[in-house]
Amino acid sequence: MAKVYLTRRIPDKALTLLQKENIEFEFNPKDEPPSEASLKREITNVDGLICLLTEKITPGIIEAGKKLRVIANIAVGFDNIDVRKATEKGIYVTNTPGVLTETTADLAWSLLMATARRISEAERYVRAGKWKIQWNLMFMTGQDIYGKTLGILGLGRIGQAVARRSKGFNMRILYYDENRTPELESELEAEYADMETVLRESDFITVHVPLTEKTRNFIGEKQLNLMKKTAILVNTSRGPVVDEDALYEALKEGKIAGAGLDVFKIEPIQMSNPLLTLDNIVLLPHIGSASAETRTKMAVIAVENAIATLKGKVPPNLANPEVLKVRPPTLR
Ligand code: GLV
């Protein structure tokens, strides 16, 4: 009987699928990531690992999984997994793309709007009992969104969903992506531009690239200097894609107007992070895909990916297809 280890309890709807397939499972009962030592211990004898993005699946952990055939990440991003090592060992790595696209696009828009209209700052003001004058002409004035230019960096699934939502706001859409997709340009009424033009001309810039060695510090001092003084940056991808020190300086010096971040270089954010001292930033605890429906579906998809692999099939969301050459999907 195949056996799977889950690094957290997941909804019963997903666990039931394992039961139906007679796959034995065990999960970390704590609501926090297991330590590296305990993860190494737990996976020595299992065929599959179902984990979250909080688990750093290092070469050492992969080596410890002597029988491991699949690592099913409950996330679209899989930069937490040493994919090269997994591939080398013939281990399938899977993710959960698609299902969280709309939910994450909603959050990118929530951040964009909250930053433009100073929602968090205004709410803090009310709760702190500072609202003493009923209405003042220039009080808490933010920025309009309607009719402005939206710059999308990375026009993948989520970037496209963000673009679709901009229709009601009558925006000009600029995008930059490593790969230009002319078909999408007409559908989304989006203009392709080089990165510099997107940075220079956009009022709102939203980042939707995966974290890779190429995209680390994708937005740094140079890029922030190109942006308009009135521009707002939104990041719902991965923290290290933005150079936080450069962003802090830019926000503090008024080189850009604001930022909305759901992701950080170090998560959870350290209380010593200077970004916390700024008012022109909205900070969220990595909740891009956090609707109950979507998170449940993500767990189900991860389980389905694990089951498919353990049944000797190519899983629907194989993130390292090159592994098929190392280990074809045959039954053991
Ligand atoms: C969340 O950040 C994900 O990658 O799914």
Question: Mean pLDDT, to the nearest integer, of 189-193?
Answer: 98
Tell me the one-letter amino acid at 274: P
Give residue 113's pLDDT. Answer: 98
- Predicted confidence band of residue 252 (pLDDT cuts 50, 70, 90): very high
* C-beta of residue 185 within 8 angstroms of C-beta of residue 159: no
Q: Which atom of ligand 1 is least distant from the CA of 236?
A: 2
- Return the ∠ at Cα 185 (arms to 180 and 186), rounded to 5°: 150
From 53, 81, 286, mutation site for ligand 1 pocket: most ligand atoms within 8 A of C-beta = 53
Q: Which atom of ligand 1 is least distant from the CA of 238?
A: 2
Q: Whose CA is nearest to atom 5 of ligand 1?
A: 75
Share of the chain above pLDDT 90, in %: 98
Residues having CB within 6 Å of any atom of ligand 1: 53, 75-77, 100, 288-289
Å from CA of 231 to ligand 1 middle: 25
- Tally of CA atoms within 13 A in the half-sphere of 70 that contains its CB: 32
Give residue 190's pLDDT. Answer: 98
Q: State how far the Cα of 99 lies from the Cα of 79, in Å rounded to an integer.
A: 18
Q: Express each pLDDT in 69-104 by its tens digit.
A: 999 999 999 999 999 999 999 999 999 999 999 999
Å from CA of 139 to ligand 1 middle: 37
pLDDT at residue 233 greater than cutoff 90: yes
Compute how many other C-beta atoms are within 10 angstroms of the C-beta atom of residue 132. Answer: 5
Q: Whose CA is nearest to atom 1 of ligand 1?
A: 75
**Residues annotated as part of the active site:** 238, 267, 286
Strands of 149-153's sheet in order across: 190-192, 172-176, 149-153, 204-207, 232-235, 258-261, 281-283
Give residue 48's pLDDT. Answer: 98
- Predicted confidence band of residue 135 (pLDDT cuts 50, 70, 90): very high
Give residue 330's pLDDT. Answer: 77
Q: E strands within the chain?
A: 3-6, 24-27, 48-51, 70-73, 92-94, 149-153, 172-176, 190-192, 204-207, 232-235, 258-261, 281-283
Q: State how far the Cα of 198 lies from the Cα of 196, in Å rounded to an integer.
A: 5
- In terms of CATH architecture, what is 101-283? 3-Layer(aba) Sandwich (3.40)
- Predicted confidence band of residue 283 (pLDDT cuts 50, 70, 90): very high
Q: Which atom of ligand 1 is least distant from the CA of 75?
A: 5
Å from CA of 126 to ligand 1 middle: 32
Task: For the chain, give every residue range classified as CATH 3.40.50.720.
Answer: 3-99+292-326, 101-283
Question: Mean pLDDT, to the nearest integer, of 107-128?
Answer: 98
Mean pLDDT estimate for the chain: 97
Give residue 19's pLDDT. Answer: 97
Å from CA of 261 to ligand 1 middle: 14
Question: Mean pLDDT, to the nearest integer, of 262-271?
Answer: 98
Q: E strands within 95-231?
A: 149-153, 172-176, 190-192, 204-207
Question: Mean pLDDT, to the nearest integer, of 53-71?
Answer: 98
Å from CA of 291 to ligand 1 middle: 12
- In terms of CATH architecture, what is 3-99+292-326? 3-Layer(aba) Sandwich (3.40)
Q: 151: which 2 tokens? A: 């710059």
Give residue 331's pLDDT. Answer: 54
Question: Mean pLDDT, to the nearest integer, of 242-267?
Answer: 98
Give residue 332's pLDDT. Answer: 52
